[in-house]
Amino acid sequence: MKIDKPDPRIGAIVTDVDVRLLSDSDWNALYNAWLEGIVLVVRSQTLTIPEFLAYSSRFGRLKPHRVRRTRHAEYPDLTVMGIGTKKADGKVDKAIYDRGGGWHTDSPWDQDICKGTQLYGIAIPSYGGDTLFASMYDAYATLPEALKQRIRGLKAEHVYGGRGRRGNELLDPEDRNRPPAVHPIVRVHEETGRTSLYANPYHITRIQGLGDAESEALIGELTDHMIRTTAQYRHKWQVGDIVIWDNRCALHSATGGYPIEEQRIHWRVTIMQDAARQQRAA
């Protein structure tokens, strides 16, 4: 097994391994490479759905995605991304085609902590469709000291789709008006002990304790800083890639820009943090 790091701050690319046959030492090396690199890419895998789910569950508890229509009929923990990009009339369904676009972290609208998201590349277009990742460790470390002091102790509310409820139509009616989840803007990672920003630009609605105008201004200031960090990795997908990223300390964004007549299909799982670990950290 080989592990290469394109940037010491973010990203780890693994080759020459079959994730179905990992030794304990290789698994530990792979897991630690993920914690250190924030984004872990394992190339050239050939997995069935049960094999993909079994490998994914080694990272933590799997949870079905809130968008029920994209759950696999036989394996509800699995979401199939990229199906239905065209409507019956032939027009592009932007809610599907653009899904994942815009800088965000996954599942901040869940009261539980989303540990990671893992995608497996099934069908990849001839160009476009890359995914961008940014380190929120670096984003926090490079904040001006005055801004660090200003946001200390603040918490933000998140709902699916954020202030504009974007993509809300993908949810079933009973899921569209759930109460917001509240998380600290500055968080300490439960496994690495490092400090990062957690102010999701896409799903955030407001910062508690601030007036609407002040909250909106601070969200904008933090967003501008987060997406300008130089600690970024751009993943160009290949069929057979497995990519997992740490939602506790990273933002990501799908770039789009791929041909609508070509498929971009991934298997996706949501990996939640162990409840006992979360409680101890709190």
**Amino acid 101: pLDDT:** 74
- Radius of gyration of the chain from Cα atoms? 18
**What does each C-alpha distance from 15 to 43, 53, 173, 241 come to in angstroms?**
6, 20, 43, 10
Three-point CA angle 198, 227, 84, nearest 5°: 85
Which is nearest to 144 in space by CA: 229, 225, 248? 225
**Amino acid 179: pLDDT:** 87
What is the topology classification, in CATH, of domain 2-281? Double-stranded beta-helix (3.60.130)
**Amino acid 164: pLDDT:** 63
**Amino acid 169: pLDDT:** 63
For the chain of 282 residues, list the mean pLDDT of each consecutive stretch of 10.
96 98 96 98 98 97 86 94 76 71 89 95 96 98 97 94 66 74 96 94 92 96 95 98 98 92 93 68 48
Cβ neighbors of 211 (< 8 A, separation 6 or more) are none
Q: Are 175 and 160 in contact (CB under 8 A)?
A: yes
For residues 190, 192, 193, 196, the Cα torsion angle rounded to the nearest 10 degrees is -90
**In whole angstroms, what is the distance from residue 92 CA to residue 169 CA?**
15
**Amino acid 102: pLDDT:** 85
Query: Hey, where are the domains in the chain?
Result: 2-281
**In whole angstroms, what is the distance from residue 282 CA to residue 280 CA?**
5
State the distance between the two ends of the chain, measured CA to CA, in whole angstroms: 36
Q: Are 16 and 1 in contact (CB under 8 A)?
A: yes
- In the numeric block, the tokens 């102010």 are attached to 199
